């Protein structure tokens, strides 16, 4: 079997994976379409394995990092029933109150990648909270396929309320200075936009390749935005011109970056859609943005 490299994979395969990851294809349909690209020593099973996330080898900040206090907390779900579990992370032995950042997962629950991003955020000097919107259904199930299936069962408006409650939890935390930002990826990018719509006091929002709110919703935004997009992500990027028009018309502070020749999910270092150069640059911009807006 051929050892696959990113350059071996046609763009159409990444596009197929995007459709699969966003529930436009079920697994059977994805595998059937993937078989068209199983040529020249490349098998369907090798393609599936290569495109699947590798959580074991890709963590940048270990769960037991000695410089952090990182543990799970719970808070009440306002409308979804039960409690929401989240990973709360902060620098150990901080002498001052810290700005807070809500870290919002993709459409599959609080998986190891998003937990890692929460810890990365804390390493940069923030108190971070990464909630799991799947908590009312039992929480992230241990794999992304089942996570996507579970998340489809939740009402998105109820999930908005859950993440607004995360803002309230973090804002009132004894170690937080009351200045809160949000960063989210894919579904979490849309949710970051929606928190900016719903929370006038939000300090800053950084949606990564997230769907844009409606024109009416976007006009309500008060928080400064840092918008992060991948050039090859035509599905999400199609909504950017209209979004920018509303932001400009309402004098809403924003900066948009479109990273050249990268896919949806380019920040996620557990799959081959990852692009290190774009991920590192976008993340440095994210941290600098939060440090400026949440001080």
Q: Which pTM does this prediction carry? A: 0.95
| 62-71, 77-86, 221-230: the lowest-pLDDT one | 77-86
CATH of domain 68-293: 3.40.50.1820
- Residue-level pLDDT at 40: 74
pLDDT digits (tens, 9 = 90+) for 223-241: 999 999 999 999 999 999 9
Of residues 122 and 20, more confidence is placed in 122
Determine what percent of the chain is predicted with pLDDT higher than 70.
98
**How confident is the prediction for the chain on average, in pLDDT?**
94
| 73-82, 93-102, 253-262, 280-289: the lowest-pLDDT one | 73-82
- Residue-level pLDDT at 1: 41
Cα 146–147–151 angle (5° rounding)? 120
pLDDT band at 80 (very low <50, low <70, confident <90, very high): low
pLDDT band at 289 (very low <50, low <70, confident <90, very high): very high
Q: 3-state secondary structure string, 60-77?
A: CCCCCCCCEEEEEEEEEC
Over residues 203-227, the mean pLDDT reads: 98
Cβ proximity of 28 and 113 under 8 Å: no
Task: Please tell me the distance from the alpha carbon of residue 161 to that of residue 154, in angstroms, as a whole number.
Answer: 12
DSSP annotation of 154 reads S
Residues in Cβ contact with 248 at an 8 Å cutoff, skipping those fewer than 6 apart: none
- Residue-level pLDDT at 4: 77
Per domain, the residue ranges of the chain are 6-51, 68-293
- Residue-level pLDDT at 52: 87
Closest to 235 in 3D by CA, of 267, 209, 208, 216: 209
- Residue-level pLDDT at 9: 85
Checking if the pLDDT of 2 tops 80, the result is no
- Residue-level pLDDT at 6: 83
Checking if the pLDDT of 212 tops 50, the result is yes
Cβ proximity of 235 and 264 under 8 Å: yes
pLDDT band at 65 (very low <50, low <70, confident <90, very high): very high
- Residue-level pLDDT at 118: 98
- Residue-level pLDDT at 93: 87
């Amino acid at each position: 079997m051929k050892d696959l490299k990113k350059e071996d994979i046609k763009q159409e395969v990444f596009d197929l994976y995007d459709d699969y990851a966003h529930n436009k294809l079920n697994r059977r349909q994805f595998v059937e379409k993937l078989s068209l690209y199983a040529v020249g020593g490349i098998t369907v099973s090798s393609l599936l394995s290569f495109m699947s996330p590798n959580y074991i080898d890709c963590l940048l900040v270990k769960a037991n990092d000695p410089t952090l206090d990182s543990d799970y907390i719970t808070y009440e779900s306002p409308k979804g029933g039960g409690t929401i579990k989240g990973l709360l992370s902060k620098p150990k032995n901080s002498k001052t109150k810290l700005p807070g950042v809500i870290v919002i997962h993709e459409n599959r629950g609080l998986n190891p990648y998003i937990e890692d991003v929460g810890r990365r955020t804390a390493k940069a000097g923030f108190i971070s909270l990464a909630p799991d919107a799947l908590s009312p259904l039992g929480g992230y199930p241990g794999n992304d396929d089942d996570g996507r299936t579970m998340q489809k069962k939740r009402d998105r408006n109820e999930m908005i309320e859950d993440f607004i409650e995360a803002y309230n939890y973090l804002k009132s935390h004894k170690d937080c200075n009351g200045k809160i930002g949000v960063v989210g990826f894919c579904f979490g990018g849309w949710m970051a936009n929606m928190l900016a719509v719903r929370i006038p006091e939000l300090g800053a929002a950084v949606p990564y390749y997230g769907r844009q709110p409606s024109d009416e919703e976007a006009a309500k935004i008060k928080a400064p935005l840092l918008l992060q997009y991948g050039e090859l992500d035509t599905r999400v990027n199609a909504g950017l011109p209209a979004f920018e028009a509303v932001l400009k018309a309402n004098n809403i502070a924003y900066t948009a970056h479109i990273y050249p020749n990268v896919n949806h999910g380019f920040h996620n270092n557990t799959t081959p859609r990852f692009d290190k150069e774009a991920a590192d640059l976008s993340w440095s911009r994210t941290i600098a943005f939060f440090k400026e807006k949440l001080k």
